[in-house]
């Protein structure tokens, strides 16, 4: 495509994105008279008095300065670097509370692994939204799901960009990622926010990509190449190819007519991008984002296969109805057969469970299992379910898009709020190596740290909140010996709000 045509096309994209916000009817949210957010705050405050497990869903009050952690066990000498995590940490202000877990302002947790031990600090992402609301000491804007009476106008998504879902290293800085808007650049030394990333800067796309959705689950290949997508309620999906310095190389718009309103993750193989459209519909009479999403059992999941070279659709599969927040990895055989895994739910109860939790209500939402999918060139598909509850899947970074044998997931055996276990699954034979923290812990995503580029080597690093002592700990396991328990555990002096995703940067 010639430069002039490309700019014209991207301008069209930008206009479409501005006119078709991923948040439906935001302009109407401010007109609501009923203060649901105040009702959620009252309900949660009452519930947390009787259910200590809700401690991880309380708000953090401010940044946390450097602190030395108390270490149990021995910190491996090979484990040196920085572990960053991101998650929502302001759920409640001035007697009002968000109605969904996904809405809170992002806070970066930073664990520094050194020869002298492990230090921790935390800092809120100083987005424009956070800065204004912090100064006012109250919410000023409606969230994607929460109706705020008297909300200030929200005419573009980045106004309420919470930068709360993931954090990745890009060209010497960090990017705090959200679901429906721009990445936020973070200074890696100070953790100060540097502003929204303009993906078109210094490229032929100019300012035409400003404000477009850039998902919180980019896939990064071993050489640093970044692939990502962004979705809107219109069903359009924007596909991105960035080089290892975060410079945009290619962008394309995929027309899918998807109306489910929820695309959280995707996959890549060596040659293709996989976009999986879950079996969701939206209740058009409900102006909230997450609460309006319904599971449609008669709607098969679609798997869109997109050529990485052209960013165009080449194949499409239909598989049984289902829903997944997260996928672990995908890869393809030499004959074109594609394989991928998903933490697959039979419905979307868990999405609404995270709204119930915000008012202090626990429920029996049906959990996810690890499901292995195989897509054949003739259009047929096969799936295999691995026993055990599954969420937050991870693989070795160097195998992103390539064949993996091991898959790390969280699991749950006793907890009705959050995960309580971590395990390593051999996807070839189903063998599992599991450590159960127990019902006193709320366990968060664990990541693989390994410099050898050999599956089975390295460590798992992840955080967990110990409910009785109201303290968070960071835990280190040796891969291959997970059931033996952590070789090192380091304790903070307080509890952190439960977060979502992060990454370890080795020195």
pLDDT score of 234 = 80
- The dotted CATH code for 56-506 is 2.130.10.10
Q: Is 26 helix (H, G, I), strand (E, B) or coil?
A: helix
Q: How far is CA 192 from CA 5, 158, 175, 475, in A?
A: 38, 18, 11, 26
Model pLDDT for residues 256-271, shown as the tens digit of each residue: 989 898 899 999 999 9
Quick one: average pLDDT of 455-475?
Answer: 98
Model pLDDT for residues 4-31, shown as the tens digit of each residue: 344 344 434 443 343 334 454 444 444 4
Model pLDDT for residues 203-237, shown as the tens digit of each residue: 999 999 999 999 999 999 999 999 999 987 688 89
Neighbouring CB atoms inside 10 A of 287's CB total: 20
Evaluate whether 485 touches 432 at the Cβ level (below 8 Å).
Answer: no
> What percentage of the chain has pLDDT greater than the value 70?
93
pLDDT score of 233 = 67
Evaluate whether 191 touches 121 at the Cβ level (below 8 Å).
Answer: yes
* Residue showing tokens 């202090």: 360
Confidence of residue 391 (pLDDT cuts 50, 70, 90): very high
Quick one: average pLDDT of 134-145?
Answer: 97
Neighbouring CB atoms inside 10 A of 159's CB total: 18
Instruction: Indicate the annotated binding residues.
Output: 217, 264, 326, 501
The full set of domain ranges for the chain reads 56-506
pTM value is 0.94
Instruction: Indicate the annotated binding residues for Fe cation.
Output: 217, 264, 326, 501
Q: How far is CA 225 from CA 86, 187, 218, 228, 385, in A?
A: 22, 21, 10, 10, 31
As a whole number, the mean pLDDT across the chain is: 93
pLDDT score of 418 = 86
Evaluate whether 299 touches 318 at the Cβ level (below 8 Å).
Answer: no
Does residue 498 have a pLDDT over 60? yes
């Amino acid at each position: 495509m010639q430069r002039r045509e490309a700019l014209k096309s991207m301008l069209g994209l930008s206009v479409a994105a501005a006119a078709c916000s991923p948040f439906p009817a935001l302009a109407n949210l401010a007109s609501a008279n009923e203060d649901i957010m105040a009702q959620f705050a009252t309900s949660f405050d009452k519930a947390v008095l009787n259910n200590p497990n809700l401690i991880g869903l309380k708000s953090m009050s401010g940044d946390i300065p450097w602190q030395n952690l108390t270490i149990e066990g021995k910190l491996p000498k090979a484990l040196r670097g920085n572990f960053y995590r991101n998650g929502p940490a302001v759920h409640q202000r001035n007697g009002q509370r968000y109605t969904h877990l996904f809405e809170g302002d992002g806070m970066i947790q930073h664990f520094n692994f050194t020869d002298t031990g492990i230090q921790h600090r935390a800092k809120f992402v100083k987005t424009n939204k956070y800065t204004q609301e912090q100064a006012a000491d109250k919410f000023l804007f409606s969230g994607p799901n929460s109706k705020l009476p008297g909300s200030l106008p929200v005419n573009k998504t980045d106004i309420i960009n919470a930068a709360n879902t993931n954090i990745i290293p890009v060209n010497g800085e960090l990017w705090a990622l959200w679901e429906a808007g721009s990445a936020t650049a973070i200074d890696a030394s100070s953790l100060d926010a540097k502003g929204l990333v303009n993906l078109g800067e210094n490229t032929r796309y100019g300012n035409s990509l400003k404000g477009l959705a850039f998902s919180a689950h980019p896939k990064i290949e071993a050489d640093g190449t970044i692939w990502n997508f962004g979705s809107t309620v219109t069903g359009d999906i924007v596909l991105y190819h960035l080089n290892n310095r975060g410079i945009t190389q290619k962008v394309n718009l995929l027309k899918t007519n998807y109306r489910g309103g929820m695309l959280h993750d995707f996959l890549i193989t060596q040659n293709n991008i996989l976009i999986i459209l879950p079996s969701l519909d939206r209740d058009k009479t409900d102006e909230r984002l997450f609460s309006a999403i319904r599971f449609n059992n008669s709607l098969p999941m679609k798997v869109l296969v997109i050529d990485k070279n052209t960013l165009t659709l080449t194949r499409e599969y239909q598989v049984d109805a289902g829903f997944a927040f997260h996928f672990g990895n995908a890869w393809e055989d030499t004959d074109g057969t594609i394989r991928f895994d998903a933490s697959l739910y039979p419905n979307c109860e868990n999405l609404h469970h995270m709204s119930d939790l915000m008012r202090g209500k626990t429920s029996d939402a049906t959990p996810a299992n690890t499901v292995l999918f195989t897509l054949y060139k003739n259009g047929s598909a096969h799936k295999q379910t691995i026993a055990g509850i599954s969420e937050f899947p991870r693989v070795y970074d160097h195998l992103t898009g390539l064949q993996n044998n091991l898959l790390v997931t969280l699991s749950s055996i006793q907890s009705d709020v959050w995960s309580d276990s971590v395990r390593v699954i051999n996807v070839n034979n189903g063998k599992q190596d599991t450590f159960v923290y127990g019902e006193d812990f709320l366990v968060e995503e664990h990541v693989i740290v390994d410099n050898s580029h050999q599956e089975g080597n390295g460590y798992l690093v992840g955080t967990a909140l110990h409910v009785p002592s109201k303290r968070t700990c960071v835990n280190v396991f040796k891969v291959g010996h997970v059931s033996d328990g952590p070789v090192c555990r380091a304790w903070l002096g307080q509890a952190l709000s439960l977060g979502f995703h992060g990454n370890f940067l080795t020195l």
